[in-house]
A and B are shown apart, each in its own frame.
Chain A
Amino acid sequence: MNLLTSSCLRLSEWLLRKQRPEWARAMRAELPHLDSQAEQFRWAFGCLTAAIKQRFAPMENGTLRISRWVMVVETIGLFGPLTLAWFEFTFGPSGIVRLNAEIIEKVFLNQPGGAYLLALWYAVTVTGLIGAIGLFLGMRYVWSGRALHSRTLGFTLIGVLSGPTIIGAAANLILGLVGPEPNFGIFMMFVALPIVGIAHLMYLAKAAEPSMLAVAK
């Protein structure tokens, strides 16, 4: 057995050590009966794939066993940046709560494209709140196992996130308004990833189907 094969097996045993240790041993026990090293490696790599699938299966079924820590990392990674941006745009040194009529007139309305920038500022404040909502929903899933069951709420959050992006991009493109340059990183961090997070929370709310065909999923 070469190093790669034994590493795959060790890793799969480690991944299944709590949930299904007997199955990890079962997969390993087949290895001496395979003829070539290449076949042994293919088998061991398959064991690793099976172990990873099993490790993430509880998450698909909406239970908490192993996946709660994965969900903590995911929730912070997907919703954290948007929440921080929302906090900064709302309560930061230039936050919306500090704006008054004089500042708006001087800094925004008297500048070229300032009205657009001001609208953008307000839009970020509203949509950014979804970061905080996502953080709450993700952590609620970790704590209680309750995902996002309301499809209406889920699609509303996705719509509110994607709406201003589409409108802003269209306005820039069609009207040539002055605004921030399109930035793929910003789009990913503040729009795409939170949408993925919400979609995942909605997916987790779906009940597993007990059909025989679903067994082979």
Chain B
Amino acid sequence: MDEPRKWHHGYELSKATELLSGTLYPILMRLSDRGFLDHKWVETEEAGRPPRHVYRLTAKGVAHAKEQFAISDEVGASPKASVSRA
């Protein structure tokens, strides 16, 4: 949430959130289905490597995430804990 409109690739998100790919990608797919996430393919600078899929929150996603953070603050749980519980 520090740079919500910056593009991130899957491995980077996996490391940042400490979620394994088997947990992370279903979440990304659902977020995308609900219009919270933009995604696109970008060429890599390293030769011989395939293009990567990158992601960022949409304006709707940022607003919704902020709302969820606020709710989490109110109930005294970290957003991560809320996500884990869900």
Task: Report how many residues on chain B are interfacial, defined by Cβ distance under 8 Å.
Answer: 33
Task: Render B59-77 as a binary contact track against A, CB cut-off 8 A, 1 for contact.
Answer: 0000011011000000000
Which stretch (A27-35, A111-119, A136-144, A159-167) binds chain B? Answer: A27-35
Contact: B25 with A29, CB < 8 Å? no
Contact: B68 with A54, CB < 8 Å? no
From 60 to 113 in chain A, residues with beta carbon under 8 angstroms from any chain B beta carbon are none
Which stretch (A45-53, A127-135, A181-189) binds chain B? Answer: A45-53
- A-to-B contact residues, CB < 8 Å: 20, 22-23, 25-30, 32-34, 42-43, 45-50, 53-54, 57, 210-217
Task: Provide the bound-state CA to CA distance between A27 and B11, in Å.
Answer: 9
Hey, which chain A residues are within 8 Å of B82, CB to CB? 213
- B-to-A contact residues, CB < 8 Å: 9-11, 14, 20-31, 34, 36, 39, 49-53, 64-65, 67-68, 82-86
Contact: A46 with B23, CB < 8 Å? yes
Nearest B-chain residue to A211, judged by Cβ:
B86
Question: Beyond A50-B23, A53-B26, A216-B84: 6 further Cβ-contacts under 8 Å?
Answer: A23-B28, A27-B25, A30-B10, A212-B64, A215-B86, A217-B86
Point out which of A30, A53, A210, A214 has the most chain B C-beta atoms below 10 A from its C-beta. Answer: A30
